[in-house]
């Protein structure tokens, strides 16, 4: 049986299993969820091992007719790009389950519903990256909003309903624009060789479009992805959603769902509309740079730890987008690796922040103080996660961030230079909360917060391991990523700029 399909089926079956467990056996339900997600993670890792990184074509492909008269297939397959993201998703999910062991309490509905939603979401997360049929991708892209919507609105904190609605409406709006573009593609494909949604076939279609059409269709896709990723100025839904959701939800939201945006930019915007991509590159690079600096400043100004993390993500997504549209191998590989690393460093930050908030009963930075004395392990976890977020050399995100910067510099030096100022701001937006929350005298209300327990340590340990290991030895992922990015750029007809000086000589 096809590896990807199996990976997608497992969580669904798991959710059915959970559905039959009586609601009052919460522990059983949690264990089941954990077991299933772990199983999926294992399958994911196996897929990674069986993946032939030399081959740039889609692998583990499977295609089944779905709606033949519209030329729609259930078609899945992975290349280096999607494999890395799927790997990230399936690794993060069990961690989220374990870390947020008690998140389901205090929700509007039972733990049962919570974990069913999580598992359904996992299936969709895998599918959205694995889909090689644009229609299938769109369906999952839209459908996965629903579980997240209920996860935020049903189990979140604060003004969760409003946040959930804002998130949903924003995303739906983008989705509908994309739908318009997809219809456009569909019609054009119909006029040129029969209706199809096969990404490979559709990537030929740009030859049959007027540049205006191509630009419009491109925008339809790009705006949808820019909302997801979130790119300035379409980011305002994120802080609310991230702050209101449970830590676990926010991890999946920032770590995985938002990656669909940047993933889509590569997979669809570039592949389907190469000329339009070139046309819009200057604008997009500008927006990306703005996001980097803007997000960093807002993070510095943030008073709520969760919102702060959300804003840092806006900055990071700026980096990713910039790397993508720099159109250099370093930029592309860097961005892809960045997606993976950001998944883990944000996960670490959010998980720990969630623990801090749930212990203290508040996520206001001002309410914390001197945690390093009280809860050293938790403080350290937060600190390391923060260091990874500010891309400290030796930690994973440094490799990707530096690749993005170098890759951008060779083609767009100005953008890269401005973006680099982001690393100074990063130092500020991480160290300010570190000082306020972890350092200084232990402030009232924090004296006897409990430190991490075994479960929490077990949950956070692998994240830390990945962050550090990939910092020193990113090769395992880069080997998978490089051929794909090289291939994509090759198809786009881009070649890396040669060293200017030695080129002359």
Partner 1 sequence: MEFIAPSLNYAQLAPMLIVLAGALIGVLIEAFAPRASRFSSQLFITLFALVASLAALFQVRNQSSVDAAMGSVAFDGAGVLFQASILVIAILAIFLIADQENFTALAASVPGSDEEREAVQADLRVTEVFPLTLFAIAGMLLFPVASDLITLFVALEMLSLPLYLMAGLSRRRRLMSQEAALKYFLLGAFASAFFLLGIAYLYGYSGSITLSGIQESVVGGAGNDVFLLLGVAFISVGLLFKVGAVPFHAWSPDVYQGAPTAITGFMAAATKVAAFGAILRIFYVSFANAEWQWRPAMVIIAIITMVFGSVVAITQRDVKRMLAYSSIAHAGFLLAGVIALSKSGLEASIFYLFAYGVATVGAFGIVTLVRDSSGEVGDLNRWSGLGKRSPLLASTFALFLLAFAGIPLTSGFIGKFSIFSAAYESGSTSILIAGVLSSAIAAFFYIRVIVLMFFKDSVEDGTSVIIPSALTTITITVSAAVTLILGIYPAPLIDFIATTATFIR
Partner 2 sequence: MTTSTSLGYLIALPLAGSIILLLAGRKADKWGHLLATALSASSFGLGLYQLSQMLRLEPEERAFTQKLFSWISVGTFNVDAGLLLDQLSICFVLLITGVGTLIHIYSISYMSHDRDRRRFFAYLNLFIAAMLLLVLGDSYLNLYVGWEGVGLASYLLIGFWNQKPAYATASKKAFVMNRIGDMGLSFAIMIAFATLGTVTFAGVKEASESASTATLTGIGIMLLIAAAGKSAQFPLQAWLGDAMAGPTPVSALIHAATMVTAGVYLITRSNFIFDAAPTAQLLVVIVGAVTLIFGALIGTAKDDIKKALAASTMSQIGYMTLAAGLGPAGYAIAIMHLLTHGFFKAGMFLGAGSVMHGMKDQVNMRRYGALGKFMPITFVTFGLGYLAIIGVPPFAGFYSKDLIIETAFNAGGVKGILLGSMTLFGAILTAFYMTRVMVLTFTSPERWEEDQHPHESPILMWLPMVVLAIGSVTTGYLFTRGDALVHWLEPVFGEHGEHTELLPHKVVSALAITAVIIGASIALVKYQFSEVDAEAPNKVSILTRLARKDLLQDSFNESVFMRPGQVLTRWLVKGDDNVVDGTVRLVGRTALGAGAELRRTQTGFARSYSALILIGALVLIAGIWVITQ
Structure tokens that stand for 316 in this block: 């990071």
Percentages (nearest 5) of helix, strand, coil residues in the chain: 75, 5, 20
Binding-site member from 182, 416, 452, 488 for partner 2 (CB under 8 A): 416
492 binds partner 2 (CB under 8 A): no
CA-wise closest residue to 362 among 440, 303, 313: 303
Q: Are strands 59-67 and 72-78 parallel, antiparallel or unpaired?
A: antiparallel
Burial class from Cβ neighbours inside 10 Å (0-12, 13-18, 19+) for residue 388 reads: buried
Q: Which of residues 77-136 bind partner 2 (CB under 8 A)?
A: none
Distance of CA 330 to the CA centre of its chain: 20
Site string for partner 2, 18-37 (x = CB under 8 A): --------------------
Cα–Cα distance measured from residue 141 to residue 55, given in angstroms and rounded to the nearest whole number: 27
Site string for partner 2, 223-262 (x = CB under 8 A): ---------xx-xx--------------------------
Handedness of CA 17, 18, 24, 28 (dihedral sign): positive
Helix (H, G, I), strand (E, B) or coil at 364: strand
Task: Output the smallest distance, CB 141 to partner 1, in A.
Answer: 8
Residue closer to partner 2 (CB basis): 394 or 445:
394
450 binds partner 2 (CB under 8 A): no
Number of Cβ within 10 Å of residue 166's Cβ equals 18
Structure tokens that stand for 136 in this block: 């299938």
Residue closer to partner 1 (CB basis): 146 or 431:
146
373 binds partner 2 (CB under 8 A): yes
410 binds partner 2 (CB under 8 A): yes
Residue closer to partner 1 (CB basis): 276 or 305:
276
Task: Output the smallest distance, CB 501 to partner 2, in A.
Answer: 4
First to last CA, the chain: 56
What residue 150 binds from partner 2, partner 1, none (CB within 5 to 8 A, per partner kind)?
A: partner 1
Task: Output the smallest distance, CB 335 to partner 2, in A.
Answer: 11
473 binds partner 2 (CB under 8 A): yes
Cα–Cα distance measured from residue 364 to residue 305, given in angstroms and rounded to the nearest whole number: 6
Helix (H, G, I), strand (E, B) or coil at 78: strand
Buried residues in 473-495 as b, exposed as e (16+ CB within 10 A): ebeebbebbbbbbbbbbeebebe
421 binds partner 2 (CB under 8 A): yes
Cα–Cα distance measured from residue 85 to residue 343, given in angstroms and rounded to the nearest whole number: 9
Task: Output the smallest distance, CB 135 to partner 2, in A.
Answer: 29
Task: Output the smallest distance, CB 40 to partner 1, in A.
Answer: 21
Number of Cβ within 10 Å of residue 65's Cβ equals 11
Residues 334/404, Cβ–Cβ less than 8 Å? yes
341 binds partner 2 (CB under 8 A): no
Residue closer to partner 2 (CB basis): 167 or 197:
167
What residue 230 binds from partner 1, partner 2, none (CB within 5 to 8 A, per partner kind)?
A: none
Residue closer to partner 2 (CB basis): 61 or 418:
418
Binding-site member from 185, 202, 298, 310 for partner 2 (CB under 8 A): 298
Task: Output the smallest distance, CB 109 to partner 1, in A.
Answer: 8
Cα–Cα distance measured from residue 468 to residue 222, given in angstroms and rounded to the nearest whole number: 33
Task: Output the smallest distance, CB 161 to partner 1, in A.
Answer: 4
The residues of the shown chain that bind partner 2, judged by CB under 8 A, are 170, 232-233, 235-236, 294, 297-298, 300-302, 328-330, 333-334, 370, 372-373, 376, 380, 387, 392-394, 398-399, 402-403, 405-407, 409-410, 413, 416-417, 420-421, 423-424, 427-428, 431-432, 435, 438-442, 472-475, 478, 482, 485-486, 496-502, 504-505
């Amino acid at each position: 049986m096809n590896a990807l399909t199996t990976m997608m089926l497992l969580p669904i079956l798991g959710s059915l299993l959970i559905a039959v467990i009586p609601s009052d056996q919460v522990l059983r339900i949690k264990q089941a969820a954990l077991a299933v997600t772990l199983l999926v993670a294992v399958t994911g890792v196996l897929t990674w091992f069986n993946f032939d990184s030399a081959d740039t074509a889609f692998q583990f492909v499977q295609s089944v007719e779905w709606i033949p008269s519209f030329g729609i297939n259930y078609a899945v397959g992975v290349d280096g790009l999607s494999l890395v993201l799927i790997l990230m998703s399936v690794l993060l999910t069990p961690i989220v389950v374990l870390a947020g062991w008690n998140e389901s309490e205090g929700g509007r509905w039972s733990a049962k519903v919570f974990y069913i939603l999580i598992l359904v979401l996992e299936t969709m997360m895998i599918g959205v990256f694995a889909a090689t049929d644009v229609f299938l991708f769109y369906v999952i892209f839209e459908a996965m909003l629903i579980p997240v919507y209920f996860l935020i609105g049903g189990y979140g904190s604060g003004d969760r309903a409003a946040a959930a609605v804002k998130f949903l409406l924003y995303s739906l709006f983008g989705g509908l624009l994309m739908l318009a573009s997809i219809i456009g593609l569909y019609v054009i494909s119909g006029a040129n060789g029969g209706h199809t949604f096969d990404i490979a076939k559709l990537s030929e279609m740009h030859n049959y479009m007027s540049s205006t059409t191509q630009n419009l269709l491109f925008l339809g896709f790009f705006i949808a992805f820019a909302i997801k990723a979130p790119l300035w100025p379409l980011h305002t839904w994120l802080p609310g959603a991230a702050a209101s959701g449970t830590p676990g939800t926010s991890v999946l939201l920032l770590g995985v769902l938002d990656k669909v945006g940047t993933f889509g930019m590569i997979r669809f915007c570039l592949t389907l509309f190469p000329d339009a991509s070139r046309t819009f590159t200057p604008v997009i690079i500008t927006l990306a740079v703005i996001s980097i600096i803007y997000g960093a400043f807002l993070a510095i100004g943030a008073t709520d730890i969760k919102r702060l993390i959300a804003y840092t993500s806006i900055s990071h997504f700026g980096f990713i987008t910039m790397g993508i549209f720099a159109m250099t191998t370093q930029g592309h590989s860097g961005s892809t690796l960045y997606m993976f690393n950001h998944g883990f460093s944000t996960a670490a930050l959010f998980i720990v922040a969630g623990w801090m908030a749930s212990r203290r009963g508040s996520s206001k930075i001002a309410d914390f103080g001197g945690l390093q004395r009280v809860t050293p392990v938790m403080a350290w976890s937060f600190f390391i996660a923060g260091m990874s977020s500010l891309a400290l050399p030796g930690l994973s995100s440094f490799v990707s961030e530096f690749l993005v910067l170098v890759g951008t510099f060779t083609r767009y030096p100005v953008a890269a230079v401005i973006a680099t100022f982001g690393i100074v701001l990063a130092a500020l937006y991480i160290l300010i909360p570190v000082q306020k929350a972890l350092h200084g005298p232990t402030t009232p209300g924090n004296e006897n917060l409990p430190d991490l327990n075994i479960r929490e340590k077990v949950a956070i340990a692998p994240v830390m391991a990945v962050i550090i290991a990939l910092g020193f030895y990113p090769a395992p992922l880069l080997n998978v990523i490089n051929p794909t990015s090289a291939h994509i750029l090759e198809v786009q007809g881009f070649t890396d700029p040669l060293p200017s000086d030695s080129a002359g000589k």
